[in-house]
Amino acid sequence: MRDNGARFHFALDSAMPSLPPLVRTALVSTLLIALLPSLSGCATALVATGGVGVLALHDRRSFGTQTDDESTEWKAAARLPEKYRDSAHLNFTSYNRKLLITGEVPSEQARQEILAIVGRIEGLRQIHDESATMPPASLASRSRDSLTDAKVKTRLIEDKQISANHFKVVTERGIVYLMGIVGEREGKIAIEIARTTDGVRRVVSLFEVLGDAELRRLNPPAPSAPAPVENR
């Protein structure tokens, strides 16, 4: 579920960056449907009522901001210098115009050059650079991260105290990064879920924590009651 962010891998094992957003969304929806038997009733209802579209409607970001975040991720991926595409493995995840960079770069010079290029993307409010100077992660490491990522997201979906679509999860080398616009209690619950998930080495919280009044303003209105039916 891309609930949350695109993950761009500049390595041969990933083809996702080459797909346009609408195609990727269709693939994600198909995957969700395929996973229905293993997901909770909450997740089943999510897909049955519109899947990714429902997530977008219930996001605390405006639709315009969601679109900007999607565009930022693609721009950052496209602007990676050609000379680093084989030696760097980077993920760009944007949430509420804040960009998280994770993965590996070959040198400090490469990191600074990439940061300077990405920093010129219009509309960015902040960059969280969590990239490491080291060789690209192995396929086995990335596979473990994908599994850990799925475990955390599934547990967020299954927890009845929070709404999973308010969170974005990124996992890199066993480190889980949590993004989202949340209340203090929501954030603590999500952090506890992540830190107690098998395979997680460390949790990094990048939440924007708001008060109850501000969250009520951002939350979508509750659906109105259906009209009554009279049988005559």
96-138 tens-digit pLDDT: 999 999 999 999 999 999 999 999 999 999 999 999 999 999 9
Specify the DSSP class assigned to residue 220.
P
Q: Is residue 5 part of a domain?
A: no
Domain boundary among 133, 151, 168: 133
First to last CA, the chain: 45
Whether pTM > 0.85 for this model: the answer is no
98 and 153 co-located in one domain: no
Give the per-residue pLDDT at 76: 97
For residue 156, the enclosing domain spans: 139-218
The one-character DSSP state at 103 is: E
What is the signed CA dihedral for 91, 94, 98, 102, rounded to 10 degrees?
A: -10
- The tally of domains found in the chain comes to 2
pLDDT value of position 16: 46
Residues 30 and 129 reside in one and the same domain = yes
Which of 150 and 52 is assigned the larger pLDDT? Answer: 150
In whole angstroms, what is the distance from residue 90 CA to residue 231 CA? 61
Burial degree of 91 (CB within 10 A; 0-12, 13-18, 19+): buried
> Are residue 21 and residue 128 in the same domain, yes or no?
yes
Query: Measured between alpha carbons, how far is 208 from 186 in angstroms, rounded to an integer?
Result: 11
Q: What is residue 190's predicted lDDT score, i.e. its pLDDT?
A: 98
Q: Last residue of some domain: 133, 163, 198?
A: 133
Tokens 């086995």, located at residue: 140
Token pair in block for residue 191: 């952090």
> Where among 79, 100, 133 does a domain terminate?
133
- Produce one character per residue of 26-57: b if its CB has 16 or more CB atoms within 10 Å, e if not: eebbeebeeeeeebeeebbebbeeebbeebbe
CA 22 to chain centre: 17
